[in-house]
Structure 1
Amino acid sequence: MTNPPAPAPVPATTPAPSPAPASPLLSAEGLRVSFPGRHGAARARAVDGVDLDIRRGEIVALVGESGCGKTTLARSLLGLVPPTGGRVTFDGAPLDYSSRALKAYRKRVQLVLQDPSGSLNPRHTVYDAVAEGLRIHGYGGDERAAVAEALSLAGLRPPERFFLRYPHELSGGQRQRVVIAGALVLRPELIVADEPVASLDASVRGEILALLLRLRAELGLSALVVTHDLGLAWNIADRVAVMYLGRIVETGEVAEVLTSPRHPYTQALLSVLPEAPGAPVVLTGEPPDPSRIPSGCRFHARCQILAGGEAERAGVADACRGQDLPVLGGGGGAQVACHWAATGATTPAGT
């Protein structure tokens, strides 16, 4: 009896290559925005070297104290403030600042402002407020149907019930939904939301955040959410970029940055949240004048790590005071601009 033939050797399989990361929808590269100083003073460097990418369907939170440059950065990404250095690209093409090109660009990228009461003309009905963008851009379709669809997407249903109302007849949450509908009516690919829930009651904030997440899921919408609230970033964002004095000082996936912050500034911002362990970190003084950015790490004058001696023990105190840090890349990997964090330390001794 003959033995059965040996099975043919199974050829080794080559693992499928990892898909290349998607190119960003919106990208800032080495972006700088400065403004003339008063009475011959040095120019104020509001945005002083920023790389930032936003991919399709991604929500990025840009966080930091008031005055750190985040709103100027957002306005520059929208084409409202031309950069003094670097560039903005959208869908692979550099942003063109001619009037005609910007009009086409703003059909694809829309702004949602912080204060819905200030964003809406009190003399205009809800219908006119939402239809305004269609009229500016010469929409040739059924205007009434487009307005109704936008209001429905924003959670105002049935939409016809709101057509003839005025802003003063609406609640704060309803007004913010009208503002969002006005942005959605043009079917943008990306929205820039500047403190979208800061003026709303706590009970309404969750509804607006849930709405933004639903719009991302249903429409594939990308978003840059500008906020000082790290709790909001945790609830809505895929990635977070922490900004201080014109630069991004820490960035990465939101869960990674907010559960294991490496930059002392991020640690201080997180320490004041109600659920944060330990005592809050109270930063001394105000952020420096953007026309007189300090040498070295721009946070060093307020840094609790340097003040507490941790940077000295790690051997980086002189670098903190005198050695500038590079601009962080705009992609999705975890990055931090901090001499102390670069030593591998992320938590001060004794905490």
Structure 2
Amino acid sequence: MTLSPTAPEVGTAPLLSAQGLYVTFPGRHGGPPARAVDGVDLDIRPGEIVALVGESGCGKTTLARSLLGLVEPTAGRVAFDGRPLEYSGRSLKAYRKRVQLVLQDPSGSLNPRHTVYDAVAEGLRIHGFAGDERTAVAEALSRAGLRPPERFFLRYPHELSGGQRQRVVIAGALVLEPELLVADEPVASLDASVRGEILALLLRLRTELGLSALVVTHDLGLAWNIADRVAVMYLGRIVETGPVEQVLTTPRHPYTQALLSVLPEAPGTPIVLTGEPPDPSRVPSGCRFHARCQVLAGGAAEAAGVADACRGRDLPVLSGDGRSQVACHWAASHAPLGGAGNRATRHSPLGDGPQGN
């Protein structure tokens, strides 16, 4: 399967789709349940890289685990290739061959007692691979940038650098020839000098293999450099979504603006949010961000006549189809400023220079 390296057009049938997804957990000491994922629609199209961003505790990892079938949703559904995900053992096993997870910490993902060969071959053995195992492992390592692959067969994780260990983890996912990768903070534990290499690898895999990817991250710079589309999550719900260049150059939601403003390379005065995100078992009425919103606190929402709505009127769940959308009463009363720019020559507001995916 080989696809164009450019992002698919909006309207292309999604490969993975979440529809009306809710995940709740029992409350503490008999209290109300925690709404970790509180109504999410999200599509990932073939060959598309979507970045899911937000603060720690916003629900993005729980959403990713639900999309992988590791957490069964309380309500809503996950569909892959047009078919609803079933939670029987056999169906999940077949599904996880097509959708693979890449975790944040390669050291924690690899058994220190297993060689690189065994680590990569593990998935083949679980799924009863009937072909030439040695060839499949060698091809996966080579695709992950470990060449010649035979040099790494008998090495152990402690003999590798952090970047090499992450490549082994990626090779372990690639060996099953999946159609989609879910990467949870894939470069967070790596040195800055290695991060670019791993991001370039993920982009190359998309180009060469047509892989789709969901990249879970708190790093907006990473989202800028790898994603076609970004979904910003706050307190269990996606509050802004659209093409990455549009969301990160002309953010409309006050939460997105605040996340961007505190980056070292960002122009202007940082917006420091007060307090912590609310308890997911006690989601505020109205806009779930209103208690921390700098627009409401500064009087701009009052001037626009939407302050009461911010405090008391809930916002709808954004659709997952890839269109630019924002869940904000104040933003809805204002036309977005500026344009999305040209993807081939765009320059990052974060100071990273031009990007070409």
Q: 2:278 aligned with 1:288, yes or no?
A: yes
| Alpha-carbon contact 2:10-2:323 (below 8 Å) kept | no
| Alpha-carbon contact 1:32-1:50 (below 8 Å) kept | yes
Q: Deviations over 1:4-33 (max 9, x none)?
A: xxxxxxxxxxxxxxx982210000000000
SS in 2 for 1:88: strand
Provide the residue aligned with 1:187 in structure 2: 177
Q: Which moved more, 1:317-326 or 1:336-345?
A: 336-345
Residue-pair matches, total:
329
SS in 2 for 1:71: helix
Q: 2:171 aligned with 1:166, yes or no?
A: no
Q: Deviations over 1:38-72 (max 9, x none)?
A: 21011000000000000000000000000000000
| Alpha-carbon contact 1:151-1:181 (below 8 Å) kept | yes
| Alpha-carbon contact 1:263-1:346 (below 8 Å) kept | no
Amino acid at match of 2:183: A
Q: 2:58 aligned with 1:83, yes or no?
A: no
Runs of 4+ in 1 over 6 A off after TM superposition: none
Question: 2 CA distance for matches of 1:21 and 1:238?
Answer: 15
Amino acid at match of 2:273: L
Q: Post-superposition shift, 1:274?
A: 2.0
Provide the residue aligned with 2:40 in structure 1: 50
Structure 2: give runs of 5+ residues left out of the alignment. 1-8, 338-357
SS in 1 for 2:171: helix
SS in 1 for 2:22: strand
Matches within 5 A, 1:1-351: 21-344=11-334
Percent identity over the alignment? 86
Provide the residue aligned with 1:10 in structure 2: none
Question: 1 CA distance for matches of 2:32 and 2:144?
Answer: 45
| Alpha-carbon contact 1:167-1:175 (below 8 Å) kept | yes
SS in 1 for 2:172: helix
Q: Which moved more, 1:270-279 or 1:170-179?
A: 270-279
Q: Post-superposition shift, 1:346?
A: 5.5
SS in 1 for 2:230: strand
Question: 2 CA distance for matches of 1:92 and 1:148?
Answer: 33
Question: 2 CA distance for matches of 1:20 and 1:217?
Answer: 19
Question: 2 CA distance for matches of 1:283 and 1:223?
Answer: 30
Question: 2 CA distance for matches of 1:38 and 1:343?
Answer: 39
SS in 2 for 1:321: helix
Q: 1:20 to 1:213 in 2, by over 3 A?
A: closer
SS in 2 for 1:107: helix
SS in 2 for 1:27: strand
Q: Deviations over 1:146-205 (max 9, x none)?
A: 000000000000000000000000000000000000000000000000000000000000
- Root-mean-square deviation (CA), in Å? 1.0
Question: 2 CA distance for matches of 1:303 and 1:67?
Answer: 18
Question: 2 CA distance for matches of 1:91 and 1:141?
Answer: 25
Question: 2 CA distance for matches of 1:346 and 1:334?
Answer: 11
Q: Post-superposition shift, 1:75?
A: 0.2
Question: 1 CA distance for matches of 2:292 and 2:336?
Answer: 17
- How does the TM-score come out when normalised to structure 2? 0.91
Greater Cα radius of gyration, structure 1 or 2: 1
Question: 1 CA distance for matches of 2:276 and 2:112?
Answer: 37
- How does the TM-score come out when normalised to structure 1? 0.93
Question: 2 CA distance for matches of 1:167 and 1:101?
Answer: 32
Q: Deviations over 1:120-144 (max 9, x none)?
A: 0000000000000000000000000
Provide the residue aligned with 1:9 in structure 2: none
Amino acid at match of 1:155: G
